[in-house]
Structure 1
Amino acid sequence: MSTFKTSLRILVAHRLYILIYLVLMSAGAVFVGTGSGNATDAGVTQVTADVAVIDRDDSAVSRALAEYVGSVGNTRPLEDTKQALQDATAKDRIQYILIIPAGFGEELQAAAQDGTQPPAVETVVSYRSYMGSLMNVHTDSYLNQVYDYLHALNTDATGTQSAEQSVERAVTLAKGSMRGGSAARLITQDALPLPESLKLYTLFSLFPLTAFCVVAIAVLMASLNRPPVHSRVSSAPVTGRSRGLGLLGACLLVGLVAWLWFFCLGTAVFAADRIVDAAPRLGVIGLALAAYTLNGVAMGFLVGQLRLGENAANAIAVIGGMAFSVLAGAWAPLDMLPDAVIAVARLTPGYWATLATGGAFNAGSTSAQVLTPLLGYCGICALFAVAIGAIGLGVGRSRARAAV
């Protein structure tokens, strides 16, 4: 009996895994990509945060600060009570809460006059969104402007300017400085840019790609190792080399099907109109996904050689696939993670696959000078698959010797 044909029958018999890990999860990736907005030549959409200001000082400085924060964010009403603050924070209704303590205006004027450290305001920043942190940067910049202008006015004062006039002048100058920015405009590249939705789809696909390959191959090898199936395959008039090649072909076929499904689906849904113009960069993305898929195949082969149960294979597929995706930067940018995590991420295949795909999306041209380093990243990712596969072969050889 042909090992390859037997493997195909086993895979078809376990088509529920194909439905869950391949079809349903790819539909989720399409949903994630579709839900993202793409920048167009018409302009750039400015995203603002929901903010609330609690002014306990009611001075000229605090009123100006509250007015500025309201101008760069969407102001929401909020009571100055502990319960209201906790409720807004827990439910994430407001991304940024600014609390101006009593006496803040006078302390800021005194600090500017003496040249000492300015007082601080209290803030509550949402941990679920970057917009709250961005609002905090805006607030700090505005306060620094007011402080600098107050200090300069106090230094240059001739004695004819009152404290109220200095504050009013400093607030006016700070407001003008903060509004002195220019509007954002989208600059087109020499190469037609790939849609952001395809990038999100590709990143989200890393998890189901790994999970499907690991589960499918581990279940396949577990079925082949069952006594009835193993005896029938072993009794066939073929050499052990042929049986090994048949199993290798079946494992590679699993990876090929997964790669073709995810890559072709993403290209057809998100980049069908750019296949010709962006073909070189799409090729790099496809090659990076192929190299990453090989790692899923190698992991499935290793799990199969360990002869773990079906439940264990599912657990390893889900947890391992998710861990690899996180370390690849698929769920959150690696820049936001600690340096120790980034160092560990470099030792995983997903990091190099994401590096290649990210470079393809950000490439301004399709010259060999730009794309060649990305091919090197794909090669590094594939080397991880070779290493994992070699470990799997070593485990299998050890089990074979122990059985003899």
Structure 2
Amino acid sequence: MKVFNLCAKVTKRHLVSLGVYLGIFAVLAVMLTAFNNTSQSLSFEAVRPSAAIVNRDGESALVRGLEDFLAGYADMVKLEDDREALQDARFFDAVDYILIIPQGFAKDFSQGGGTLEKNTRFTSAEGRYADLLVNRYLSAARAYRQAAPELSEEELLEAVKADASVQAEVEKKSFLESQPIDESFQVYFRTLPYIMMAVLILAVTTVMMVFNKPDLRMRNLCAPVKLRHVNLQLALYNVCLGGVAWLVLCAMAFLFYGGRIQGTDVRLVLLILLNSICYLFVCLSVAFLLGNFVKDGGGQNIAANFISLGLSFLGGSFVPLELLGDSVLQVARYTPSYWYNHAVEAISGLVRFDSQALGPVFISMAIQTGFAAAVFSVALVISKFRRQRTEGFASVKTEMA
């Protein structure tokens, strides 16, 4: 295992640069998931908007009933009847809904009229919900007033309160067997292709640059170790190197977000990990291909950053696939990173584990494996062609000299 040990020594000399990339990715992962702190839950809870009522009509049974009814569904906020205070409340989103009851509203309402002043953001769902509650109460009161004018005001409000408080029975069903995968965990594994590709290109090409130096190649050809054994040990080391990188990156995922996936179906997590292993082979094959061309550290860094960033942007690692344009998606489908993220999205949306549901996931994984096999085959052909070229044996100083 002399070749294997030599590869380990070469990698050891470059642990600092590889550690820098891992550190940058750790910071990047934290930043990307900093705004995804909301945990998903399978339970349903009714939304309670914040609302404020400014009563300019004085005490009346109608207004008092409206306030009591709205307080049952919303969090009431007290605001002063001051123009500046109301403007500040809306500007800083202190409340979702402001209802102003003008003077004489109860009297006008009893005569079939009456208008209210409402203030809410156009895009606020909570504000619209509060407005629906107000309209629901007033519509019921108006209907009772027209249908039974002989009822006293107290009797009318009691009837309205009883009708408006009727709730429909809702049956909640869950189609998931467990908690879904946490959003932060998904974001981490969506960005994983970037750092995995960059680190493995740097690590693999660093070793291959040493063995591709002409002087060392000629020495290995004269050595008692067969070339086949040299290539096998080199390939074994690259696979082990990729496995170590994968373990470190996955360990970081469980270190940062392991607490957020408690209760998640283990099968979902295993599928995410299996998908990342498929992309690991893609990274190794691309790194092996580049190892036939990279000759110095400058070209090495350019290749690592350009390819990792390019594939990550096209594949949807930094921008969700649904936000990419059609023309970009047409190009992205020819990249393995697209199918990696496509599999991540498919796994995250699984609600069952039959063949029909798992089909798209395994198809995406198979496509990634096909990319890896194709790139590796091309790399083998190029490597054999370069070995047969006499120009490749020019005298060049090696790193190990």
Q: Normalised by the size of structure 1, how large is the TM-score?
A: 0.61
| Contact kept? 1:218, 1:303, Cα under 8 Å | yes
Q: How does 1:208-219 map to 2 (within 5 A)?
A: 208-219=195-206
SS in 1 for 2:33: helix
Does 2:180 match 1:193? yes
Q: Closer, same or farther in 2 for the Cα pair 1:324/1:44, shift >3 Å?
A: farther
Q: What's 1:284 paired with?
A: 271
Distance in 1, Cα, partners of 2:237 & 2:342: 29
SS in 2 for 1:305: coil
Does 2:365 match 1:374? no
| Contact kept? 1:7, 1:220, Cα under 8 Å | yes
Residue deviations 1:125-151 (CA, integer Å, cap 9, x gap): xxxxxxxxx95x99xxxxxxxxxxxxx
Distance in 2, Cα, partners of 1:269 & 1:10: 31
1:264 is aligned, of 229, 232, 251, to 251
| Contact kept? 1:22, 1:258, Cα under 8 Å | no
Q: What's 1:99 paired with?
A: none
The Cα shift of 1:277 comes to 4.6
Counterpart of 2:6 in structure 1: which amino acid? T
The Cα shift of 1:2 comes to 2.1
Q: How does 1:200-239 map to 2 (within 5 A)?
A: 200-227=187-214, 229-231=216-218, 233-239=220-226
Does 2:19 match 1:32? no
| Contact kept? 1:30, 1:266, Cα under 8 Å | no
Q: What's 2:15 paired with?
A: 15
| Contact kept? 1:217, 1:301, Cα under 8 Å | yes
Q: Closer, same or farther in 2 for the Cα pair 1:259/1:370, shift >3 Å?
A: same
Counterpart of 1:212 in structure 2: which amino acid? V
Q: What's 1:243 paired with?
A: 230
| Contact kept? 2:279, 2:340, Cα under 8 Å | yes
Q: Which has the larger radius of gyration?
A: 2
Q: How does 1:40-51 map to 2 (within 5 A)?
A: 40-41=40-41
Q: Closer, same or farther in 2 for the Cα pair 1:313/1:261, shift >3 Å?
A: same
The Cα shift of 1:358 comes to 1.0
SS in 1 for 2:388: helix
Distance in 1, Cα, partners of 2:30 & 2:222: 45
Distance in 2, Cα, partners of 1:335 & 1:277: 25
Distance in 2, Cα, partners of 1:40 & 1:299: 37
Distance in 1, Cα, partners of 2:328 & 2:222: 50
Q: Closer, same or farther in 2 for the Cα pair 1:315/1:12, shift >3 Å?
A: same
Counterpart of 2:287 in structure 1: which amino acid? G
Q: What's 1:352 paired with?
A: 339
1:318 is aligned, of 281, 305, 311, to 305
Residue deviations 1:177-201 (CA, integer Å, cap 9, x gap): xxxxxxxx99773332111000111
Distance in 1, Cα, partners of 2:373 & 2:285: 7
Q: What's 1:253 paired with?
A: 240
Distance in 1, Cα, partners of 2:248 & 2:345: 21
Distance in 2, Cα, partners of 1:214 & 1:45: 50
SS in 2 for 1:271: helix
| Contact kept? 1:213, 1:296, Cα under 8 Å | yes
| Contact kept? 1:284, 1:356, Cα under 8 Å | no
Residue deviations 1:76-105 (CA, integer Å, cap 9, x gap): 7xxxxxxxxxxxxxxxxxxxxxxxxxxxxx
Q: How does 1:106-255 map to 2 (within 5 A)?
A: 189-227=176-214, 229-231=216-218, 233-255=220-242
| Contact kept? 2:212, 2:292, Cα under 8 Å | no
Distance in 1, Cα, partners of 2:191 & 2:345: 13
Q: What's 1:81 paired with?
A: none
Distance in 1, Cα, partners of 2:308 & 2:233: 26
Q: What's 2:140 paired with?
A: none
Identify which range, 272-281 or 337-346, moves more after superposition.
272-281
Counterpart of 1:13 in structure 2: which amino acid? R
SS in 1 for 2:256: helix
SS in 2 for 1:342: helix
Distance in 1, Cα, partners of 2:275 & 2:9: 30
Distance in 1, Cα, partners of 2:90 & 2:320: 26
Q: What's 1:299 paired with?
A: 286
Unaligned runs of 5+ in 2: 48-85, 93-121, 126-171, 392-401
The Cα shift of 1:235 comes to 4.2
| Contact kept? 1:209, 1:259, Cα under 8 Å | yes
Counterpart of 2:368 in structure 1: which amino acid? C
Counterpart of 1:330 in structure 2: which amino acid? S
Counterpart of 1:284 in structure 2: which amino acid? L
How many pairs were matched up? Answer: 280
Residue deviations 1:332-382 (CA, integer Å, cap 9, x gap): 122322211101111000111111111111112344442243122111111
Q: Closer, same or farther in 2 for the Cα pair 1:228/1:45, shift >3 Å?
A: farther
Distance in 2, Cα, partners of 1:265 & 1:294: 20
Q: Closer, same or farther in 2 for the Cα pair 1:267/1:401, shift >3 Å?
A: same
| Contact kept? 2:314, 2:337, Cα under 8 Å | yes
| Contact kept? 2:4, 2:233, Cα under 8 Å | yes
Distance in 1, Cα, partners of 2:40 & 2:372: 38
Counterpart of 2:318 in structure 1: which amino acid? W
Q: Closer, same or farther in 2 for the Cα pair 1:400/1:335, shift >3 Å?
A: same
> Alignment identity in percent?
22
Distance in 2, Cα, partners of 1:74 & 1:300: 56
Residue deviations 1:141-181 (CA, integer Å, cap 9, x gap): xxxxxxxxxxxxxxxxxxxxxxxxxxxxxxxxxxxxxxxxx
